[in-house]
Amino acid sequence: MTRLVVVGADAAGMSAASQARRGLGPDELEIVAFERGHFTSYSACGIPYWIGGLVESRDDLVARAPEVFRDEYRIDVRLRHEVTAIDLDRREVVARDLEGGGEVREHFDQLVYAAGAVPVDPPWAETSAAGVFGVQTLDDGSALRAWLDGAPRPRRAVVVGGGYIGVEMAEALIRRGLSVTLVERGPQPMSTVDPDMAVLVRDALVGLGIDVRTGVSVTGLTARDGRVASVVTDAGDLPADVVVLGLGVRPNTALARRAGLPVGPTGGIRVDLRMRVMGVDGVWAAGDCVQTVHRLTGQAVHLPLGTHANKQGRVAGINIGGGYATFPGVIGTAVTKVCELEVARTGLRERDATAAGYEFVTVKVESTNRAGYFPGADPMTVKLLAERRSGLLLGAQIVGRSEAAKRIDPLAVALWNQMTVEEMTGLDLGYAPPYAPVWDPVLIAARKAVEALSRG
């Protein structure tokens, strides 16, 4: 019998394990999955909405509990087990039981490395003071929720970092009635979109009552009686009863590096199209710990998103189970919300396109989600980038209110299939006054891009 060992039992790891099980039954494949936390297959992206009270129960974020994998999939899931070593020569994984104590060793024929990502924590964040949190795992979210519900109740929050997690957590804390300051080192929050679009996000945050401090660097933390007391910045101290770190993540590859697995320039594990670790027989990797290829530039990238993790895990599992599948790369499609404001992007930003060597034009249009005369019509801003020579769509960004963000999907499909903006003007998109104006914002933007190209 073949034995598969999975390191990490969240999106990528359990997608791989369950898909491998569909290909090979319990008499053919034994599967052991190690997870250092308390949960399997949960939505980390939903944590801010649970913290903010939009999601009622933590259990709602768990897609499949460990019991489901054990009983229905015949997968030996071992929670609170941290893998500490991988011995490729002996084909063995070493794990520490975090609650029962002791060490276990498991032989493997096939290995899936799905250890995810770890938060970027600068030296100033290394503190013994209570009240400082990352929000990477459901265990992290549970700890933050307990702190917010505990005594004395925190009143002042500082969120460090203005990316997806930062803006989502700032909103969540405002919803809970805290006074919130968001600190961002760059000129605008949400650097995942261009600055002219990010300023719209900043305006929305300020409109929520969040004190947004941009161009400010954090240099330290202070504590009082063992609890965080303030965040020290180059523009002065910010009082805080709770601090949330949203400084981004990096691939969790320390264990992989020690085992000798190849790591690429992005810091992620190098895999082929089938998610096999390059040059290492019988070892696969998937999720936030791997690097992949951007379909537009052909360059190696690290884009830690749940959508990619689930797809990559599925690809690895199909191949382990005897099938054939490949992962074709990414274009960086992502959406988020700040209260009623929706933010979406796909493909390249201006600085990405410049770095890749493209000459391009940009257009930005204002439109509405519905016919202007229909109740509930809300504004949105759509920005497109198109290559100057060919007219190929290179990237798109949308900031708007209701029904804005998911309009990024037809743009992502157009980009994925290498459409020109000229071709996009003829897209047969749905129309009815409650759902779109007669000229959908996507079509208006494409038409404007064609006009920009014609001007040279």
* Residue in 45, 62, 208, 429 annotated catalytic: 45
pLDDT at res. 340: 86
pLDDT, tens digit, 9 for 90 and up, residues 244-303: 999 999 999 999 999 999 999 999 999 999 999 999 999 999 999 999 999 999 999 999
First-to-final CA distance of the chain: 64
pLDDT, tens digit, 9 for 90 and up, residues 139-181: 999 999 999 999 999 999 999 999 999 999 999 999 999 999 9
Query: CA dist 389 to 21, 453, 454, Å?
Result: 48, 8, 10
Quote the mean pLDDT of the chain.
96
Asked whether the predicted pLDDT for residue 402 surpasses 90, the reply is no
Give the pLDDT band (50/70/90) at residue 456: low
As a whole number, mean pLDDT of residues 374-399 equals: 96
As a whole number, mean pLDDT of residues 31-48 equals: 96
Asked whether the predicted pLDDT for residue 374 surpasses 80, the reply is yes
Asked whether the predicted pLDDT for residue 121 surpasses 90, the reply is no
Domains and CATH numbers, the chain: 2-41+58-116+250-320 (3.50.50.60), 121-247 (3.50.50.60), 334-454 (3.50.50.60)
pLDDT at res. 207: 92
As a whole number, mean pLDDT of residues 32-37 equals: 97
State the pTM of this model.
0.94
As a whole number, mean pLDDT of residues 200-214 equals: 94
Q: What angle do CA 227, 117, 348 make, to 5 degrees?
A: 115
HEC secondary structure over the chain: CEEEEEECCCHHHHHHHHHHHHHCCCCCEEEEEEECCCCCCECHHHHHHHHCCCCCCHHHHECCCHHHHHHHCCEEEEECEEEEEEECCCCEEEEEECCCCCEEEEECCEEEECCCEEECCCHHHCCCCECEEECCCHHHHHHHHHHHHCCCCCCEEEEECCCHHHHHHHHHHHHCCCEEEEEECCCCCCCCCCHHHHHHHHHHHHHCCCEEEECCCEEEEEEECCEEEEEEECCEEEECCEEEECCCEEECCHHHHHHCCCECCCCCECECCCCEECCCCCEEECCCCECEEECCCCCEECCCCHHHHHHHHHHHHHHHCCCCCCCCCECCCEEEEECCEEEEEEECCHHHHHHCCCCEEEEEEEEECCCCCCCCCCEEEEEEEEECCCCEEEEEEEEECCCCHHHHHHHHHHHHCCCEHHHHCCCCCCCCCCCCCCCCHHHHHHHHHHHHHHCC
Going by C-alpha positions, the residue among 42, 30, 22 that lies closest to residue 6 is 30
**Chain centroid to CA 370:** 30
pLDDT, tens digit, 9 for 90 and up, residues 318-369: 999 999 999 999 999 999 998 889 999 999 999 999 999 999 999 999 999 9
Is there a catalytic annotation at residue 45? yes
* φ and ψ at residue 18, rounded to 5 degrees: -70, -35
Asked whether the predicted pLDDT for residue 306 surpasses 80, the reply is yes
Spatial separation of the C-alpha atoms in residues 34 and 100, rounded to whole Å: 14
Q: What percent of the chain has pLDDT over 70?
A: 100
Residue 454 structure tokens: 């014609």
